[in-house]
Chain A
Amino acid sequence: MSATYLYLSLIPQALIASMLEPEAFGRYYAVGTKVHSRGEAIFFELDPAQLPEGEFPLELVPERCVAKADGSPKKSVYLAIYRVLSRVPVSAMKALHLVTRDGKTLSLERAPYEGDSQRRAHLYQEFCPIDPMVASLLEPRDFCRAITDTQRPVHVPRIVFSELALRELATDPINGLANDLPYPNIPHLRDVLASLLSSDKKQSKLVLKQVNEGVFYRTIRGGFYVGDQSDFAFYRFPAVAHLETHHYNWWRSAQAPARDI
């Protein structure tokens, strides 16, 4: 009998059972079977044993996630589509899978987090449960703690985000070179960073309410983070040289022109 996998999709949020292995699931999830819809995807493979009991209808999995009459595997059984991330503990999250618009998958394993106390300005792209771009003076773990702090009026129960490169803007937001940065409205980003660095009133500021350009893979700094008040996990994103050598097809696909041309 084929194995059954549980996946936590972040774009959009969903808990999905599937008989497909991560790579095949990524391909299916990004491009579908009829190629009528396409889109980037990010999902975690989950450990069912770590999921809280009674939170999801896992009893449906052996019943519905079975091979079809022709022997082909069941590709997806949706188990939840609303507030899923908040109900899945970080401990249940295994590998993180990044899928490009044309269905190429890169898998990242958890890595030890070493912190980044040297740097003052950071830029974060949030993926789930909301998807803004935020500039912050907090390093990733502190940012995660702050945004999930229930004492604050604005908070989320759990968050997935990546850090983005700022190049020279990290130290000199007004005059620093930003040639290589693909983010929209760079002048606004400069203003936000300058405001953050010149005053201690705020530790984080919104740059964009919603990012429509997809994942900025080319300028990811460090990697992806998932966490809440008690738990925190880091998934290191490979260096460009490593991607060009070992994951060339995925890397080329990740850099293909954006969708809205």
Chain B
Amino acid sequence: MNEPLFWLAPAAALVALVVARLFFLQMRRQDEGTDLMRQIGQHVRLGAMAYLRQQYRIMGLVFAALALVFAVLAYGFGLQNPWLPFTFLCGGFFSALAGYIGMRTATLASTRTTAAARSSLGQSLRVAFRSGAVIGLTVVSLGLANCVGWFLLVNWLTPESADNYRLVVITTTVLTFSMGASLQALFARVGGGIFTKAADVGADLVGKVEVGIPEDDPRNPAVIADNVGDNVGDVAGMGADLFESYCGSLLAACALGAAAFVGDADLQGRAITAPFLIAGLGVMASILGVFLVRTKEGADQRALLAALSRGINTSAVLVVLLTLPALYWLGMPNLWGTWGAVVTGLVTGLVIGRATEYATSPSYTATRGIAEAAESGPATVIITGIGTGMMSTVVPVLAVAVGTLGAFVLSAGFDMAAVTQGLYGVAIAAVGMLSTLGITLASDAYGPIADNAGGNAEMSGLGPEVRARTDALDSLGNTTAATGKGFAIGSAALTALALIASYLEVVRIQLLHSGRVVLELGHSVEVATRDATLPDFMAYFDVTLLNPVVLAALFIGSMSAFVFSGLTMQAVGRAAGKMVVEVRRQFRENPGILEGTAQPDYARCIEISTKAAQREMVWPSVIAVVTPVAVSLLLGVAGVIGLLVGALCTGFAMAVFLSNAGGAWDNAKKYIETGQHGGKASPAHRASVIGDTVGDPFKDTSGPSLNILVKLMSIIAISVAALAVS
């Protein structure tokens, strides 16, 4: 690579990996507490690893089978990029590796966070947050290193030519790395979501409601599965989701950058370097931000939040400040426009985060309205929660709409005809939004660590001052999780948009590959495939709303988001049902459990959740994989674009709705527990518990899984573009 600034990206990835390793070792050296604390931590750790082993075994089989299919298509029929089997496997492997490191770190850290909470709030925050940072930095370093590595490798092995399309071919080839990561993310998110909610709902329905034992009570057979589930869903699931978004946005920006400046190899190089440069600066800013998160002993909730915000905001400001001179040094054309796109992405992420917090925090009227509705019973809780969730889509959708338009217009230099440059700006906005992923994911992964630490403190019977500290950390984790979810949803929307745009570049390559060098646009107008603009492709494939194929595919895309959500929700219901039966059985057959004289069979509950998660994620995965392939074969390019747009628009709005409705129900219950509307044990509290239970699969299974669906469908469409073209 000729651009010296390009090398900042691999250097930053390396530094992030080293810092993550140092933080990990630092965490390992911390005291793990009493024997009971260790024992509880060990149960959770073994459960988490058992789940991962089972998931990776099945994933390994699926990946091997798909890689074989891709290899046959590539080498047997010439219908696939020959790199695809390798990039696909590599993407899946590194996403899984990031998940494994995340789970291992989180399960080791929660016990140590509890142990640190015995002496100091500041120390426990440090242990929990830096462990979260291990996860955040591992995800970005592995993602960035892989994107850089694959780009360099494919660039090195692709013969030099005077062809302007060489870099487009390289970048669209590397883009398929995302497919493996995306499929792995689907497994992690859907499987993790089903696992965690089956355990959670099962533990609550029998333990809390039927038997009357409190939350996190060690007598509940499903309590360890519930704790494992927090890690499976929020650490491995969220990590894989954002790993995929990070790589997807980065590689889509490279592909669109190469396509936008196809006439000038020098500019192409800079346009490809820019996203790597922004990502590298973001990683360095994130590392600095992590060191700024610290607090004094005796800090209250506001001080804890201020400490965390200081780290996140400083990282974001640093990215904004450093990107401008870096892009200037790089010699980017339309410097202010590109920088504006970065800022637009960051601001869009922050706006979505704030909107999510507004929709779900008990400090604001939306959630308090649900709590008030609880006085009239469970039906009004459900109705108000659904309404609140639907209304909560306004700001995130408008933010993405304005962000997309802003990034497009700025990057295109206010020339609406410069479509490729504009779409490059949209991809750059996604890169900008995810540039500080190192620290935003740290604050998100910190949540389940603090949550598990609280559970450990409860089960270990630690004193009230320790529980007060872990409760403060947990409460902070709930607040930061809202911001994290906002970034995950917003970045998924922008990344999917960038991937749809990249799809047309892949189609161009496939057309050239199949020998179609001229596109007939009608009315005797012809244009060389190489020189065709994106509007030319739209005209060639008749991608208009008047084309019934596009309309039909739009409907199918829209429907697929609903079917996918319905399947994941029903899966949670079935899996939770199995868990309920098992927990009841254990209480019935072993009365000593409730008396506290016998230990429940935790492993059996973990096994039930694990098996249910693996079995139940089959059909949602099939929908995500088969739909774009089938539409490619049956409806062609116009159909695929209709499908992807339909799925993205509906999926994005639904993801926001489901996540926010679930979050608002959860926090309405917590608000009532603070003593409002009758407080604990009141009729309103009972109604709010029902709302919370309904909201569990909304916010932790179906909602987050939709992020993956929209990206996975796009990346699969890219990977099978040859089918649509043929």
Complex alpha-carbon distance, A11 and B467, angstroms: 33
Main secondary structure of the interface of A (DSSP, over half): loop
Chain A residues, Cβ within 8 Å of B682: 181-183
Question: Are B679 and A35 interface neighbours, CB within 8 A?
Answer: no
Contact count A vs B, C-beta below 8 Å: 100
Chain A residues, Cβ within 8 Å of B213: 102, 253, 256
Q: Is B681 an interface residue (CB 8 A)?
A: yes
Complex alpha-carbon distance, A260 and B690, angstroms: 11
Chain B residues, Cβ within 8 Å of A94: none
Question: Are A258 and B686 interface neighbours, CB within 8 A?
Answer: yes
Q: Is A203 an interface residue (CB 8 A)?
A: no
**Given A34-B588, A35-B587, A184-B683, do A179 and B677 touch, yes or no (CB 8 Å)?**
yes
**Given A103-B594, A182-B685, A218-B679, do A257 and B587 touch, yes or no (CB 8 Å)?**
no
Question: Are A38 and B686 interface neighbours, CB within 8 A?
Answer: no
Chain A residues, Cβ within 8 Å of B325: none
Task: Scan B676-699; emit 1 where CB is below 8 A from any A CB, else 0.
Answer: 111111110110011000000000
Complex alpha-carbon distance, A32 and B588, angstroms: 10
Give the Cβ gap from A260 to chain B, nearest Cβ, in Å: 7
List A18-43 residues whose CB lies under 8 Å from chain B. Answer: 27, 31-36, 38
**Given A218-B680, A257-B209, A258-B681, do A103 and B595 touch, yes or no (CB 8 Å)?**
yes
**Given A31-B591, A35-B587, A244-B464, do A256 and B679 touch, yes or no (CB 8 Å)?**
no
Q: Is B634 an interface residue (CB 8 A)?
A: no
Interface residues on A, range: 35 or more
Interface residues on B, range: 20 to 34
Task: Scan B442-457; emit 1 where CB is below 8 A from any A CB, else 0.
Answer: 0000000000000000
Give the Cβ gap from B666 to chain A, nearest Cβ, in Å: 14
Give the Cβ gap from A210 to chain B, nearest Cβ, in Å: 15
List B659-711 residues whose CB lies under 8 Å from chain A. Answer: 675-683, 685-686, 689-690
Task: Scan A223-261; emit 1 where CB is below 8 A from any B CB, else 0.
Answer: 000000000000000000000110011001101111111
Q: Is A61 an interface residue (CB 8 A)?
A: no
Q: Is A125 an interface residue (CB 8 A)?
A: no
**Given A180-B676, A186-B678, do A260 and B591 touch, yes or no (CB 8 Å)?**
no
Query: Which among A182, A218, A255 is the interface contact of B214 at CB below 8 angstroms?
Result: A255
Chain A residues, Cβ within 8 Å of B464: 244-245, 248
Give the Cβ gap from B256 to chain A, nearest Cβ, in Å: 52
| Closest partner residue, chain B, to A213 (CB atom) | B681
Q: Is A101 an interface residue (CB 8 A)?
A: yes
Question: Are B588 and A253 interface neighbours, CB within 8 A?
Answer: no
Question: Are B587 and A259 interface neighbours, CB within 8 A?
Answer: no
Chain A residues, Cβ within 8 Å of B294: none
Question: Are B212 and A182 interface neighbours, CB within 8 A?
Answer: no
Q: Is B563 an interface residue (CB 8 A)?
A: no
Give the Cβ gap from A247 to chain B, nearest Cβ, in Å: 11
Question: Are A181 and B686 interface neighbours, CB within 8 A?
Answer: no
Question: Are B679 and A182 interface neighbours, CB within 8 A?
Answer: yes
Chain B residues, Cβ within 8 Å of A38: 210-212
Chain A residues, Cβ within 8 Å of B38: none
Complex alpha-carbon distance, A190 and B486, angstroms: 44
Q: Is B461 an interface residue (CB 8 A)?
A: yes
| Closest partner residue, chain A, to B205 (CB atom) | A261
Q: Is A204 an interface residue (CB 8 A)?
A: no
Query: Which among B588, B594, B678 is the interface contact of A181 at CB below 8 angstroms?
Result: B678
A-B contact pairs, 23 of them (CB 8 A): A27-B594, A31-B594, A34-B588, A35-B211, A38-B210, A102-B213, A103-B595, A179-B676, A179-B677, A180-B675, A180-B678, A182-B678, A182-B679, A182-B680, A244-B464, A248-B464, A252-B217, A253-B217, A257-B208, A257-B680, A257-B686, A260-B686, A261-B690
Residues of A within 8 A of B (CB): 27, 31-36, 38, 100-103, 178-184, 186, 213-214, 216, 218, 244-245, 248-249, 252-253, 255-261
Residues of B within 8 A of A (CB): 208-214, 217, 219, 458, 461, 463-464, 467, 587-588, 591, 594-595, 675-683, 685-686, 689-690
